Amino acid sequence: MSDKKNYITPEGFQRLQEELNQLIRIDRPEVVKVVSWAAGNGDRSENGDYIYGKRKLRQIDSKIKYLIINIEDAEIVRRDPSNLEERVFFGAFVQIKDDNKDKLLTVRIVGTQEINHATGNISWVCPLALSLMGRSNGDIVSVETASGSQVYSILKVSY
């Protein structure tokens, strides 16, 4: 529970809930069965199934705690499709052109739990997203990175 807002898209919130349900209803009970069976086999100090199962159970419980905290703190951002501008806000898909490398990128501005660079999901708190927020088609933004300044042109904004 931090001071920073935990914004999330409706799809991201649903994924968190699905992962929590998977862990609570399927994964954890399966591991508990294995640990119970292994505990019944006697000496636990050299019982690999027991030791590994207990470790796996701690990992699952830790992940469950993490998901519960993030779900409770989540602030779902919904966009009314009839009231969308061609400006960049949370949840927007933004097609940009890297003016230095003449390369096209499509990014989506999402919550911190939804980051996935393979699909182009970037956090709303990253420098690129912060520089894109509030801008619209045709705008040029400059982003300071560790390797220097990057310049991007906004080609298309959609939701």
Q: Is the CA virtual torsion 139, 144, 145, 149 positive or negative?
A: positive
CATH fold of 6-76 = Helix Hairpins (1.10.287)
Which residues is 76 bridged to in the sheet?
8
The two structure tokens encoding residue 56: 């796996």
Taking Cα atoms as reference points, which of 10, 155, 156, 16 lies closest to residue 80? 10
Residue found under tokens 């390797």: 147
State pLDDT tens for residues 5-24.
789 999 999 999 999 999 99
CATH fold of 81-158 = Chitinase A; domain 3 (3.10.50)
Between 82 and 72, the higher pLDDT residue: 72
Determine the angle formed by the axes of helices 10-22 and 48-73, rounding to 10 degrees.
150
pLDDT at 1: 44
| Cα–Cα dist 96/133, whole Å | 13
